Structure 1
Amino acid sequence: MEVDLVAEARRCGGVFAAVVTSLRRARPGSRIRFVYAGGQEGEVRLTLERLSELGMVEVVRLGRGEAVVVKRG
């Protein structure tokens, strides 16, 4: 599954809301690729770090305008 965070964040009201909405749609074990703009990197990194600490996702790759995560069940 691929998510354009630029458009999705605009639609959902922010990066955190866009990531959580995408996770709700995905099944456990699904690999999700988030594509974002350079200006969103800090917010994306912080969001994924927090969700990883909570055990919701496993971050596979993060940086250079994309993040790949696996949703934990």
Structure 2
Amino acid sequence: VNNTIAAIATPAGEGGLSIIRFSGTGALKIAQKLFRTPAGNPANEFLPHKVHFGSIQDPATGECID
């Protein structure tokens, strides 16, 4: 089964850091649509097993979600 999964990987509550883990065949496409670098640009590639700093934004409005 080739499911795409997005899961919160940090504890519930307030904090200065949040981690969302994407995996599966559609993960890259979803991450490229939602993730923005600190400069506001979409990431062109995501290397596996690496941390990527940025924010999750609403693709319709550009509003920062987290």
TM-score > 0.5 by shorter chain? no
Task: Return the structure number with greater strand share.
Answer: 1
Bigger-Rg structure (1/2)? 2
Q: Which has the higher contact order (CA 8 A, sep 6+)?
A: 1
Q: TM-score, normalised by structure 2?
A: 0.33
Q: TM-score, normalised by structure 1?
A: 0.31
